């Protein structure tokens, strides 16, 4: 311990005498900086459907009515009398009063308006593999027929349409057989009548099974 003290004293004397140079040793540490950047965490698919509803709007209209009243009054000359042998004169024996007033009339005006509804098929993906298995099973039953040449990509929109319709509040509390005419009209309005009917009705029957499968899964029946 005494040796260290002596070396320290010698160093101090050398520094005071200018016999040595100072050496600075930097001391460093690391610090953690955290930054943010956008990253995709998932995605949802949006489908927009257009529904129709009947609305009745009251409108107030104004119209004019004319009341005609005849009134008898005392005789009075129409113009200064003319002197003549017959001594005739024209007299006013009555007058007609015309009274005009405004009257407000309430009428009901009805027309059809459209309302757009945005639905999020956030649960469709969990049923997608089941829909594909259903499609492949039906294709196996139709071997040799025209329908067996269809691909899954062609059929998937029908499952999506049925799944979306099954979760639509517009059809809440109704069964598929009850709403099928409405679904067919809506489908033909979107994709064209030719897509749903080949002339004999067999095309809609093919699509119907795929649409109903989507409907049932949305209603928890599968």
Q: pLDDT per residue over 114-168, tens digit each? A: 554 444 455 788 899 999 999 998 887 775 555 557 889 989 999 999 999 999 9
Q: State how far the Cα of 154 lies from the Cα of 136, in Å rounded to an integer.
A: 12
Contact (Cβ atoms closer than 8 angstroms) between residue 169 and residue 161: no
Give the pLDDT confidence score for residue 111 in this predicted structure.
Answer: 72
More confident residue, 46 or 189: 189
Supply the pTM of this predicted model: 0.43
Q: For 170-208, write each residue's pLDDT tens digit.
A: 998 899 999 999 999 998 888 776 555 544 455 677 789
Quote the Cα angle for 217-133-156, to 5°: 70
Parallel, antiparallel, or unpaired for β 91-120 and 46-77?
Answer: antiparallel
Beta bridge partners of 105: 61
Give the pLDDT confidence score for residue 193 in this predicted structure.
Answer: 63
Contact (Cβ atoms closer than 8 angstroms) between residue 125 and residue 108: no
Q: For 56-97, write each residue's pLDDT tens digit.
A: 888 888 888 778 787 877 766 666 656 556 677 888 888 877
Q: At 28, is the pLDDT very low, low, confident or very high (cuts 50, 70, 90)?
A: confident
Contacts of 77 (CB under 8 A, 6+ apart): 89, 90, 91, 92
pLDDT above 60: residue 20:
no
Q: State how far the Cα of 137 lies from the Cα of 211, in Å rounded to an integer.
A: 15
Q: For 204-220, write each residue's pLDDT tens digit.
A: 777 899 999 999 999 88
- Please report, rounded to a whole number, the percentage of residues in the chain having pLDDT higher than 70: 66
Q: Of 162, 169, 174, nearest to 208 (Cα)?
A: 162
Q: End-to-end distance of the chain based on CA atoms, in angstroms?
A: 87
Give the pLDDT confidence score for residue 198 in this predicted structure.
Answer: 44
**What are phi and psi for residue 212, nearest 5 degrees?**
-70, -35
- Please report, rounded to a whole number, the percentage of residues in the chain having pLDDT higher than 90: 18
Q: State how far the Cα of 125 lies from the Cα of 163, in Å rounded to an integer.
A: 11
């Amino acid at each position: 311990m005494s040796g260290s003290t002596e070396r320290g004293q010698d160093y101090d004397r050398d520094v005071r005498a200018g016999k040595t140079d100072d050496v600075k040793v930097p001391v460093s540490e690391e610090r953690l900086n955290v930054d943010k950047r956008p990253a995709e965490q998932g995605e949802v698919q949006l489908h927009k459907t257009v529904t129709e509803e009947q609305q009745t709007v009251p409108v107030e209209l104004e119209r004019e009515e004319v009341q005609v009243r005849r009134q008898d009054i005392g005789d009075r000359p129409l113009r200064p009398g003319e002197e003549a042998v017959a001594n005739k004169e024209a007299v006013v024996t009555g007058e007609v009063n015309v009274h005009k007033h405004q009257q407000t009339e309430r009428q009901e005006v009805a027309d059809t308006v459209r309302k757009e509804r945005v639905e999020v098929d956030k649960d469709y993906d969990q049923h997608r593999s089941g829909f594909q298995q259903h499609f492949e099973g039906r294709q196996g039953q139709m071997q040799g027929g025209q329908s067996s040449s269809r691909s899954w990509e062609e059929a998937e929109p029908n499952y999506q349409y049925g799944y979306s319709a099954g979760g639509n509040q517009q059809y809440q509390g109704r069964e598929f057989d009850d709403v099928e005419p409405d679904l067919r009209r809506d489908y033909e309005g979107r994709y064209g009548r030719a897509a749903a009917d080949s002339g004999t009705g067999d095309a809609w029957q093919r699509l119907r099974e795929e649409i109903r499968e989507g409907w049932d899964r949305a209603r928890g029946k599968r």
